[in-house]
Amino acid sequence: MKINLVAVGTKMPAWVTQGFDEYSKRLPRECQLQLVEIPAAKRGKTAQPEQWKKDEASRILMAIPDNHHVVALEVDGKNWSTEQLSEQMQNWLSDGRDVSLMVGGPDGLDNSCLQRASQKWSLSALTLPHPLVRIVLAEQLYRAWTILQNHPYHRS
């Protein structure tokens, strides 16, 4: 299974790239994590947030193959504990399809992205900076994988 993290934003600080890379390289080939960066919409004085979201949504949706299981990272999504994430990961593996996780830009995800998603997942009720979300996602996916492998990295 491949997991694509489709995230709005480019040119992240080095610490973000290093953090994401550290956890993604720990995942084995049967659970590869790769980042697909989507350029943010140009924010000007005349456009509106809804238009920016639509602009980003078209690029996000083009980056996701039709046969992927899609999960939207959304503040009103379900909160999963790490153990519940490992159960979700097991379900994804059993499904046999690759997975795409969508992270919107500063204004969130457009409704077209939410409609494409099979699941909505909330990392936290807190507002997290988008660069940090990449690292948290990568680390939690790695931790969930270790639970499936009975690895001592995770301690319940």
Residues marked as binding?
A: 73, 104, 123-128
Give the whole-angstrom CA distance, residue 153 versus residue 150.
9
Q: What is the pLDDT of residue 156?
A: 60
Domains identified in the chain and CATH numbers? 2-148 (3.40.1280.10)
Phi, psi dihedral angles at 45 (to 5 degrees): -75, -25
Residues marked as binding for S-adenosyl-L-methionine?
A: 73, 104, 123-128
Give the whole-angstrom CA distance, residue 37 versus residue 34.
10
Per-residue pLDDT of the chain (156 residues), as tens digits, is 999 999 999 999 999 999 999 999 999 999 999 999 999 988 877 778 888 999 999 999 999 999 999 999 999 999 999 999 999 999 999 999 999 999 999 899 999 999 999 999 999 988 889 899 999 999 999 999 999 999 876 566
